[in-house]
Structure 1
Amino acid sequence: MVANIAFGLASIVANSYLLSPAAMGATGSSGLVPDRKPDAKLELKPALKPNLKLDSKAKPSANPDTTPADSSPDDKSSLCGTPIMDGLKQHKVKKGETLAAIAKQYKLTTATIMGLNPSTRDGTVSPGEILTIPPSNGISYRFGNEETYKSLAKKFNVRADVLFEQNGCQSRPKVVFVPGAVWKPNPVIPKLPAFATLASAPSQPAIIFNSGGYPLPYAVPVTSGYGWRINPVTGESAFHSGIDLGAPMGTPVLAAKSGTVQFAGWSGGYGNLIEIGHDNMGTRYAHLSAIYVNPGQRVAKGQQIGLVGSTGRSTGPHLHFEIMVPSAEGWATLDPAPYLNRIAAVFSQFIPIS
């Protein structure tokens, strides 16, 4: 048994180190232990050398789901920078300029400019018009109820950490910029609706309804309420952040209050979406078949802003209406039912105001 142990130890030493020729002598009769002179020096050399390098300048990649507990605000600032949506430029259209020429000036595609500026989606620009210009090609995208950076990355075939960093490492902004994504017209939005042309004088293209703040010219049935429900498209349980009003296709959609248009364009599951800011609250109007306002435009209470449709994630024509209020974590939605029920009880038909 002692011989077996000795043999095992000898094997380990022989496999782990290289003996120099000077230290190797004639092999004894046992063939296990080399004979050497008393003054012979045994030189041991490692067979393998570690090849490890530490890069003190290496930085951790941003993760859209987790943040290191010991990361400092300075680290986050250097990694993320300013959100692209906060650094957009503005361009005032000069006489004789074309959409293609402006896109070439900023090294962008015309689709990028059209995506961020709904008024240009017919391919034309007007002198004096103010255009929003991003630093690179891409689209602005409004987060849906259940969307995350990961689901957005999968949808547009981009990396989630890139999305997270280029949007300032914000956990859940209202609107994000998706670099490299291509805007697609769905549908092309006319500047002047046929409804307004027929019903109003050329000097006053906007129509205002005395609807009392109801988002349609007349009261309609509620087809889906606010709160948790089974999503009719996916068949899964999901939170419904607004209320669905079952109006026919092409019904005029009205501003519930006076305010400023914050967003007007395509927004994923919302389809064609309009968002209006009213000082301390906001309203959303989704799934529209047409949009008649532009971002930054002032609208009056009861003014026609679009038409009922079925764009985006929808099973049929209706108006998805939301009421939003600010909270500690950003915008939060409220149940619009009490507000709508109170208004609907006041009127039963619409009256255009000239």
Structure 2
Amino acid sequence: MTESPPNTLTSPSPLPPADLPAVHATDPSLSSQPTQQPILESAPPATPPLASPFPVTPALLQPGTMVIGRSPEHSLLWVGEILGVLPSDGAAEGDVWYEVHAWGSHQQCALFRRQWAPGYYSLGGGYVSYNKRASKRAAEIVELSHGQIAAAGFEMERSRGNRGSHLPPSLCSHFASGSDGCHFYEYPDQKEDQGWIDLEVFIRTPISQVPRNVPHVPLLRVHTEKLQDDGTRKFKTRTVINGKQVPREGLSVATRLCPPKAVRIVLQIALDACKRRGVDLSLQRADVVQAYLQAPLPPDRPPLAAISPSDHPDHGQFLWVLRKAVYGLPDAGKVFEDFLTSVLRSFG
């Protein structure tokens, strides 16, 4: 059995916010014509920041209260539900801490369209998923101080089909551009796309130049959040192909390598045996970044054109003729296995 992850984290871990656009100062143009002296006018009064539609009062928040919290160390805004007040351990007066059930969304659309749901650890505790039907799993619990609450007391609006909930429109309008340097997180789609370019995964081809007999299969974005060893979360994007629409005729998909779970079991048995015998054994592991994308497709494989994700600039104008074993292809595992075997054999 796998051990349950700790029920309390310091804060959800986001990605840093996107860089703010640089402000460039322009020099006045030089002219030989005499310039008119400007008429000095009194500067208009500064516009005060808009007040939150759900302001936070000094009073203690009750269990069940929905809040938007700030995590300044990660420049993050996030949604959560108050579970209770943490016991005071001599902290300064007014410095109240709450136990909060973190909510989240795997969607990257506009803030007012995102569907939110409570966070639960996946089986094994490696990932956090947001699903109203996952109540039997361990909830993602975080700590939040009263001073880091940006809004409180609102009600989530249920979406159709009860698959999630939306933030109230007034909150979306207020926090769409962030608050005090904190923003709602975004998944690193650009990093994933750059990896595809660096590894030359595809040939970018105008739609009109792709033969009609070449299958066109859409690409999808898969958003995940991986729990780190220090209790923070890492946001990750994986671009995959819709394998259900890929023709399987003539493809070899059988693999011969040992499944990763079996390898981990054997290694754990070896470590336990060495520990009982007093043998000092250390193991090291390596992670291959975008592993499948390293493996070239066989030259005799039928060509396949991928439709870029709907949020990509190429969508509707270019097709991506695949050159590498994209995640989601029925034969991606077999192609990567053959590639790995050839590389290992080249080492002797």
Q: TM-score, normalised by structure 1?
A: 0.21
Greater length-normalized contact order (CA 8 Å, ≥ 6 residues apart)? 2
Structure with max Cα Rg:
1
Q: TM-score, normalised by structure 2?
A: 0.21
